[in-house]
Chains A and B, each alone.
Chain A
Amino acid sequence: MKEIKSDIGPIIQVKDLVKKFGSFVAVDHLTFEVNKGEIFGFLGANGAGKTTAIRMLCGLLEPTSGALQVAGFDGYHEREAIKRNIGYMSQKFSLYEDLTVYENFRLYAGIYGIPRKERIRKTDELLLKLKLEESRDKLVGGLPLGWKQKLAFSLALFHNPAVVFLDEPSGGVDPLTRRTFWDLIYEVAHQGVTIFVTTHYMDEAEYCNRVAIMSEGKIVALDTPAALKSYYKTDSMDGVFLKIARNKE
């Protein structure tokens, strides 16, 4: 399973990546790199092109032009190999609501070819950790949104991917639930998994190692939250974002 090409520097390499829908340029010459084990944030208002970018990185969308490598595989010709090495959590909850928690785990483990024994061990372990043991045989559709998100996150990690892509993972839940969700993300990042996350919550940006701020398909700023804050002479990411927005006008 773990067939990531060795001696790669950055785990994600993007150069001049463009995606056009007709004449509309959704993603406009993105260039960046993400290092192994990093929590990399993609920040921007709705419609800034975050989801389009993440979909290209996951192999769900073919780029119009530019170079793209994830886990050492090419984004044009090796999309299926990329898929073997990444986890993805979509913006819209997309597990099967008419299957139970356990049945969802079983299905995806089966698709990734995880052996039965390992699947059973890991499912039990994860459910215990997420405090979802009692919901094991409940239909996913009946769970609260916060639980569903944790579930989707664990499932994205089930096959030990090198990179996990999270597209607005904590949308629509209260700040406390969001906080516990980020605890999970930190834990995984500590184990060496690279996290690529998009968000429009500025407080979430503080949790990232590095953030890229997107506007109208372009990256307008890219650095650590601390560096960005000192550069724009403000004490919060909110301030950074506002200043960038103002500069544009």
Chain B
Amino acid sequence: MRTILYLLQKEFIQVFRNKSMLPIIFIMPLVQMLVLVFAATMELKKVDITVVDFDLSETSTRLTAKFEASSFFHLTRAQLSPTETDQLLLKGKANLVVTFPHGFEQDLKRNDQASLQVMVDAINGSAAELSNAYLQTVIASYNQKIRAQMLGVPKFTPPEQVNVIPAYWYNPELNFKFYMAPGVLVILVTIIGLFLSSLNLVREKEMGTIEQLNVTPIKKYHFIIGKMMPFLIIALLDLTFGLLVAKVVFGLPFRGNILTLYVFTSLYLFLIMSIGLFVSAISETQQQVLFVSFFFLIVFIIMSGLFTPVESMPVWAQRMDLINPIYYLIRIIRNVVLKGSGLLDMTSELLRLCGYGLLMFSLAVWRYRKTV
């Protein structure tokens, strides 16, 4: 046990003697929280819409005004030929083009129905669907209004309607930042924990200092723990710092118990560092470690539910998330921060993280060789 203390002392001295360390520790969380949380938003705003009005009637002008009134759209009026509208979409100058054909109003009055053309740039499918849906809502509400005008007061009471009043729980204002911030914190502790510890170990291999250690009777798990603890502490420090930034800058509510958060994050770090140290145990150079770690990191992040809901992934992909550490912590941390979940609400996650962590730790210790 005393050996570990000596090893920790050594690691801490080395970490803080390294001049690039303090910037990494303090600037990384700042940048991630201030840039990523604001930038990584799914909220759709200011969709560029171009209205081509060949009708120039009262109806078309009013409907155009409705589009303009919405904060969702950024509207341009133009008189363009069909080829020109194609070009508009092709060059990405408009996301949506609405064309009122000549005689739009006349058709409406004479035939009780009229058609207009909507073209959507659907490169980003979900954004296209969302903006089209929004456009349809504006048109539908306009439809109801003109129908009332044209028919006058309804002759009979309209059929019963189901009225929905949604109540958004846990994030009532649908603030996307509250959803992203906990996720970005996970990425933060992951990068600190995973990379700093695994690069540190393999650096000893590159420098040759590991040979002098390997010729001592040092215990393998002492060595591995010595490589973990300093970065675990630094990562938790960064978590604290990141949470403070989130609280101060965008008022992230914190409903859960802070201790619960630290317990889970520590278990998670134990797991992710074990994976990293396993990778460095089988690697010889920092380059190899970076390459392999990056591969897993990107797969883990994209499948984690940070940006896209896990529920909408195919079932086999959801099953794969059983071994995705980031998936666990992102869910846990969102639950703790936004819902106020406690340790007992997440016993299954707790057990899984423990088991998975111990497994990877054993693998790392086993695979670390004191021979060359």
Contacts and interface: CB of A to CB of B under 8 A. Distances in A.
B106 interface: no
B13 A99 contact: yes
B10 A58 contact: no
A3 to B, nearest CB: 11
A95 B208 CA distance: 9
Given A98-B14, A98-B17, A98-B18, A83 B6 contact: no
A111 B213 CA distance: 9
Contact of B3 (A60, A90, A111): A111
A61 B17 CA distance: 33
B233 interface: no
A111 B222 CA distance: 10
Contacts of B17: 98
A82 B35 CA distance: 55
Contacts of B18: 98
A88 B212 contact: yes
A103 B10 contact: yes
A103 B213 CA distance: 14
13 contacts: A55-B372, A60-B370, A61-B371, A83-B215, A84-B217, A86-B215, A90-B208, A94-B207, A96-B10, A98-B18, A99-B14, A107-B9, A112-B216
Contact of A94 (B3, B212, B218, B370): B212
B5 interface: yes
Given A59-B215, A93-B208, A97-B207, 10 more contacts: A55-B372, A80-B217, A90-B212, A90-B215, A95-B212, A98-B14, A99-B13, A107-B10, A110-B6, A110-B9
**Size bracket of the A interface:** 20 to 34
Interface residues of B, number: 26
Contacts of B2: 110, 113
B209 interface: yes
Interface in B179-203: none
Interface of B: 2-3, 5-7, 9-10, 13-14, 17-18, 207-218, 370-372
Given A90-B208, A94-B207, A107-B6, A58 B14 contact: no
Q: Which of A61, A107, A112 has the most CB of B within 10 A?
A: A107
A108 interface: yes
Contacts of B14: 96, 98-99
Nearest to B212: A94
Contacts of B371: 59-62
- The majority secondary structure among interface residues of chain B is helix
Contacts of A98: 14, 17-18
Contacts of B7: 107, 110-111
A103 B10 CA distance: 8
Interface of A: 55, 58-62, 79-81, 83-84, 86, 88, 90, 92-99, 103, 106-108, 110-113
6 cross-chain pairs, A with B, having the tightest CB-CB distances, nearest first: A110-B6, A88-B215, A94-B212, A94-B208, A84-B217, A83-B217
Contact of A60 (B10, B13, B372): B372
B209 to A, nearest CB: 5
A99 B13 CA distance: 8
A94 B213 CA distance: 9
A19 B79 CA distance: 84
Contacts of A106: 6, 9
A228 B13 CA distance: 51
Contacts of B210: 94
Contact of B6 (A60, A80, A111): A111
